[in-house]
Amino acid sequence: MIPSLPVLALGLLILAWGQTFQFQDSVFIQFLGLDKVPSPQKFQPVPYIMRKIFQYREAAAAAGESQDSCYVKDLGVRGNVLRLLPDQGVFLYSKQPSQASCCLEKLLYFNLSTTKDKEQLTMAQLGLDLGPSTYYNPGPDLELALSLVREPPGWGRSFPKPGKVFVLQTVPWPQGVLHFNLLHVAKDWNDNPQKNSGLFLEIRVKGDRDPGVDSQLKDTCARLRRSLHASLLLVTLSPEQCGPSSRKRRAAIPAPQAPCKNLCHRHQLFISFQDLGWHKWIIAPRGFMANYCHGECPFSLTTSLNSSNYAFMQALMQAVDPEIPQAVCIPIKLSPISMLYQDNNDNVILRHYEDMVVDECGCG
Ligand SMILES: *[C@@H]1O[C@H](CO)[C@@H](O)[C@H](O)[C@H]1NC(C)=O
Ligand SMILES: *[C@@H]1O[C@H](CO)[C@@H](O)[C@H](O)[C@H]1NC(C)=O
């Protein structure tokens, strides 16, 4: 169960007051949708698309623009978590003479276990980076074939058993990144993890040239094997954070803009990830201005503003019956932040979190 914002706010307040209480690391970690504090061995390069989205979001937040954290504009899909999974597969070397036209064979494997059960997969894009451009004649046309692995290699068999080819395309100029939509495949893997035995990637030479004899072809294939880099970009939607009820706000009266000293108003609070020791896994930002609400909500303040909302009624009732608690100082306008981080599986994750920054406080 992900704790609600008040729990988080409490944690932050405790931190802000610097009292003897310990900041609840675990609470915040859970809130971020993680099981434990990640401790990656080394930082992975952040893919261009994630950097771009992160920078765009930061700029929008700085400009005070409202943004939908549950929609990824650059990709045109709904989602609040972006993950880049590195390929954990291996190159295969077949020695069968019938495979003379084979240039490269690789088992691609992506461990999808980091996605949570409740997350809804909205995009899965395989990226095959064939390496930098070359200035020399790229040589013959190559053909790329992708199939699902039906049975992984093992127990006496060094080769996986590939299923039906579902992508077959000509690669006239083997360089740059090729993208393939794997949403259906990834959904199936997500629902049935035991079915995920990986993908079988084969790059073949069209025609009847033989890389074993043709030296230019041999060079091209060797270069491809050196530079080939595969990754899987996943976009998911967390129902807890992007469900229909997640944007509901408690009705509250906004506190005055120029606050009296003890009256309910917004206080500045910067959460530094460095101070928490989280810079070891959070790539960006270095921290964020979370702020918090604190102050009194006396009857005079609640009634001084015209409002027919619940807080007004509560204040009214409290004046009559002291048993009824006073309205409290709470956030009434919040904005999201984006975080780029890395988990223990070397996945780079970009995630948007709703309601992380207190913009306005009020009595409610
Ligand atoms: C996938 O990752 C999980 C969590 O790190 C791990 O427990 C599991 O063994 C991995 N699966 C494979 C097949 O590598
Ligand atoms: C409150 O509402 C009344 C009646 O609509 C109006 O006359 C008055 O000016 C309002 N006061 C403020 C502070 O907006």
DSSP character string of 325-353: PPP-EEEEEEEEEEEEEE-TTS-EEEEEE
Torsion sign over Cα 235, 53, 46, 39: negative
Average pLDDT over residues 73-100: 82
Residue 156: what pLDDT?
A: 67
Measured in Å, residue 292 CA sits from the centre of ligand 2 at 29
- Give the C-alpha separation, 292 to 314, whole Å: 23
Cis peptide before 132 (omega within 30 of 0): no
Residue 223 has a pLDDT of 86
Cα of 111 from ligand 1 centre, angstroms: 6
Q: Determine what percent of the chain is predicted with pLDDT higher than 70.
A: 77
Residue 350: pLDDT over 80: yes
- The angle subtended at Cα 179 by Cα 152 and Cα 163, nearest 5°, is 25
Pocket mutation for ligand 1, best pick of 34, 111, 115, 194 (most atoms within 8 Å of C-beta): 111
User: pLDDT grade, residue 244 (50/70/90)?
Assistant: low
Asked if residue 5 has pLDDT above 50, the reply is no
pLDDT digits (tens, 9 = 90+) for 262-301: 788 889 989 888 888 888 899 999 999 989 988 887 766 5
State in Å: Cα 193 to ligand 1 middle. Answer: 10
Q: Which residues 6+ apart lie within 8 Å of 310 measured at CB?
A: 250, 251, 364
**Cα 270 to averaged position of ligand 1 atoms, centre (Å):** 36
| pLDDT given at position 20 | 33
Ligand nearest to the CA of 308: 2
Tell me which of 20-34, 98-112, 118-132, 150-164 is least confident: 20-34
Pick the ligand that lies closest to the CA of residue 344: 1
**Ligand 1-lining residues (CB < 6 angstroms):** 111, 113, 345
pLDDT > 90: percent of the chain? 27
